[in-house]
Amino acid sequence: MSILVFGHKNPDTDSICSAIAMAELQTKLGKDIKAVRLGNLNKETEYILNYFNIELPELIEKVKDEQEVILVDHNEKGQSVDNRDNSKILLIVDHHKIDLSTADPINLRFETVGCTSTIIAKLFKENNLVPSKEIAGLMLSAIISDTLLFKSPTCTDEDIKQAKYLAEIAEIDYEKYGMDMLIAGTSVDDKTAEEIYNMDMKPFSFGDQTATVAQVNTVNINDILKRKNELIKVMQEKIKNDKLSFALLMITDIVNKGTELLVVGDKTLANKTFGLDMSKDTVYLEGVVSRKKQIVPPLTNAAN
Amino acid sequence: MSILVFGHKNPDTDSICSAIAMAELQTKLGKDIKAVRLGNLNKETEYILNYFNIELPELIEKVKDEQEVILVDHNEKGQSVDNRDNSKILLIVDHHKIDLSTADPINLRFETVGCTSTIIAKLFKENNLVPSKEIAGLMLSAIISDTLLFKSPTCTDEDIKQAKYLAEIAEIDYEKYGMDMLIAGTSVDDKTAEEIYNMDMKPFSFGDQTATVAQVNTVNINDILKRKNELIKVMQEKIKNDKLSFALLMITDIVNKGTELLVVGDKTLANKTFGLDMSKDTVYLEGVVSRKKQIVPPLTNAAN
């Protein structure tokens, strides 16, 4: 039975590309391994797999008991594969906060960098291996995606260093390719409000409240805001079905670096954390582009 | 304010030596850092620091708010420094099971090897650095201690590889030095029963039960067993003071590879897990030498 490697549910570019890159790394190390995915691709990732002519990983929802797995770009149970508790986790490579408890010793490689693929690029080097041209292109794409072409506050010197190294191997002009890729990812005209909300949505716990935080990148916030009423309906539905305290949507302008935060449900924590006017649905957060660094930690701290 | 690096409470050789080695590594990387300890040295570690003429790290119990820390050889809150929740964890290097939840992304390097110093030796290499002769000797000593000179089932090829590399740098005959060091560590004639129990004792949770699991290495199990009544009294006191369900003492014969397990308090879980005769205090476990690999996981599984 092959080892399975996958990123989080509602996969973004890093979750898909890091899983495929890890599969190549482990294959070069002599392991029998297969990259899979826990959800549908977003437009940006579709553009990337198409650009590098990489086959779509198989969709799975749950794993069998005793299945050997490698996790990339996530560690929390709620974001992972169904039946994970009965699988055997060989390794987790991640750059998020941790919430994990195991019965046995485990291999973990967590670094506070902007992108999981940055860590995987280092792992290739530490093992004296060089990724193929296409896989280097995928890892480069993941770094561009997670760091918004090095503009996000989550971006570190290490991300830029590895991205430049990968761009050389992939023989790509990363500035031009990166902007094309990001813009290809922002078009939502053909999407329903539900699809927009679920594109890059993750569940979280803040103290004793549960919530979802979704993010959509755009080059024009009003393109999304004009569909506010539809989106609120989807989020209200989500709150009811999943018994959440509230639901957030970050509408992030990747050129001007700012986020219009849409809040549905119990607004108390968003009011306390971000100064949301309780009579309104949205608040504009200047300079905020990162869920991981600028939205989740302040909510966690305010809840505790 | 210097970064502080430390191992777990009731430090064993790996916790002390890995902290000192990590301090040298980070110093070479340009950081202002100091190795400290969370408890008194055992006899083995005393022998080692004396052998390599290394200064005793300062004893601390708690850290100030916002103190930057690096943790080695442990991650669970109960085994760590007081006030850790208000410190800033920069990095954890460990080889145990994990039970950790953070508000922010974190640097973690966990490998399923026999000793934390094995991982730290790799970190020196990855940063193109070579440890000093004395620090190589400390890391070698930690590997010998944790793997019982490569005889423990927790010992991996990587531990042996790094130990041999470190022995070359330290210019030491590791077979001879290792046996001297282990025997120096097993003498308990000058210790009270309380000191014996606390030498290498760790708290754990198994389902909804809390317990302590201590281990003492020996070359003659009867040397320790003859003090059984004193030890039982100490363990009963411990159970009462810390409101534990039970307390265990592993009396491990490092030459013949086996453990006499002394059980005090509620014997139900030890009966279910190790077949302890409920009318007796001890059960001999052939081939068992590792708390981490052969005692804690079966108890965890039996409790769940």
Query: What CATH number does residue A281 fall under?
Result: 3.10.310.20
Q: Per-residue confidence at A210, pLDDT binned at 50, 70, 90?
A: very high
* Beta-carbon-side half-sphere exposure of residue A203 (alpha carbons within 13 Å): 16
Asked whether residue B27 falls in the same domain as residue B75, the answer is yes
Last residue of a domain, one of A132, A161, A184: A184
Chain A: nearest CA to B180, how far in angstroms? 29
The answer to whether B258 and B287 are in contact (CB under 8 A) is: yes
Q: Closest chain A residue to B76 measured between Cα atoms?
A: A101
On whether both B154 and B210 belong to a single domain, the answer is no
pLDDT of A219 over the 90 cut: no
Number of domains, chain A: 2
Write down the pLDDT at residue A187. Answer: 78
Q: Are residues B213 and B180 in the same domain?
A: no
Q: Same domain, yes or no, for A69 and A104?
A: yes
**Mutation site for B-interface testing, chosen from A102, A127, A290 by largest number of B Cβ within 10 Å:** A102
Chain A contact for B103 (CB, 8 A cutoff): yes
Check A105 against B110: CB less than 8 A apart: yes
How does DSSP classify residue A289?
A: -
Above pLDDT 90, what percent of chain A? 89
Query: Do A99 and B98 count as a contact with CB atoms less than 8 A apart?
Result: no
Does residue B30 contact residue B2 with C-beta atoms inside 8 Å? no
- Nearest residue, CB atoms, B100 vs list A96, A98, A109: A98
Mean pLDDT per 10-residue segment, chain B (304 residues)? 96 97 98 97 94 97 97 96 96 97 94 98 96 98 96 94 98 94 84 92 93 93 94 97 97 90 97 95 95 94 91
If asked whether residues A212 and A160 sit together in one domain, one would say no
Q: CATH code at A131?
A: 3.90.1640.10
Any A CB within 8 A of B300 CB: yes
Question: What letter does residue A118 receive in the DSSP assignment?
Answer: H
In this prediction, residues A232-245 reach a mean pLDDT of 97
A105 closest CB neighbour out of B103, B106, B112: B112
Instruction: Out of A96, A105, A110, name the one closest to residue B97 (CB).
Output: A105
Last residue of a domain, one of A157, A184, A211: A184
Residue to mutate among B75, B77, B97, B301, with most A CBs inside 10 A, is B97
User: pLDDT tens, B256-270?
Assistant: 889 999 999 999 999
Average pLDDT, chain A: 95
Tell me whether B95 touches chain A (CB under 8 Å).
yes
Question: What pLDDT score was predicted for residue A4?
Answer: 98
Q: Are residues A59 and A172 in the same domain?
A: yes
Dihedral sign computed on CA atoms, order B172, B178, B180, B181: positive
Residue B20 pLDDT: 98
Same domain? For A102 and A201 the reply is: no
- CB atoms B99 and A98 under 8 Å: no
> A293 contacts in B (CB within 8 Å)?
105
Report the alpha-carbon distance of residue B103 to residue B212 in Å, rounded.
28
- For the segment A69-121, what is each residue's pLDDT rounded down to a tens digit? 999 999 999 999 999 999 999 999 999 999 999 989 999 999 999 999 999 99
Going by their DSSP bridges, the two strands B246-253 and B258-265 should be labelled as antiparallel
Domain that holds residue A246: 193-303
Question: A102 at the B interface (CB within 8 A)?
Answer: yes
Residue A102: list chain B partners with CB under 8 A: 97-99
CB contact under 8 A, A98 and B108: yes
Q: Are residues A112 and A213 in the same domain?
A: no
pLDDT digits (tens, 9 = 90+) for A140-153: 999 999 999 998 88
Provide the pLDDT for residue B1. Answer: 87
Do both A142 and A197 map to the same domain?
Answer: no
State whether B118 and B212 are in the same domain: no
For residue A91, the chain B residues in CB contact (below 8 A) are: none
pLDDT grade, residue A12 (50/70/90)? Answer: very high
Going by pLDDT thresholds of 50, 70 and 90, the confidence category of residue A186 is confident
Distance of CA B26 to the CA centre of its chain: 22
Record: contact B98-A102, CB cut-off 8 A:
yes
Q: Which of B160, B184, B208 is the last residue of a domain?
A: B184
Instruction: Characterize B86-116 residue by residue with b for buried, 16 or more Cβ atoms within 10 angstroms of its Cβ, and e for exposed.
Output: ebebbbbbbbbbbbbebbbbbbbbbbbbbbb
Q: Are residues A102 and A24 in the same domain?
A: yes
At A169 the pLDDT is 98
Q: What is the pLDDT of residue B81?
A: 97
Do A21 and A117 meet the contact criterion of CB atoms below 8 Å apart?
A: yes
Chain B positions touching A96 (Cβ under 8 A) are 105
CA distances from A79 to A6, A73, A83 (A): 11, 10, 12
pLDDT of residue A110: 98
Residues in chain A closer than 8 A to B104 (CB atoms): 97, 297
Q: Could you say which of B100, B105, B297 has the minimum Cβ distance to residue A104?
A: B297
Q: Can you tell me the ipTM of this complex?
A: 0.78
Task: Show Cβ contacts of residue A30 under 8 Å, excluding neighbours closer than 6 positions.
Answer: none
- Single-letter residue type at B195: E
Q: Is A74 on the interface with B (CB under 8 A)?
A: no
Per residue in A28-78, pLDDT (tens digit) is 999 999 999 999 998 899 999 999 999 999 999 999 999 999 999 999 999
The pTM score is 0.79
pLDDT computed for residue B297 by the predictor = 94
Q: What is the pLDDT of residue A131?
A: 98
Do residues B174 and B150 both lie within one domain?
yes
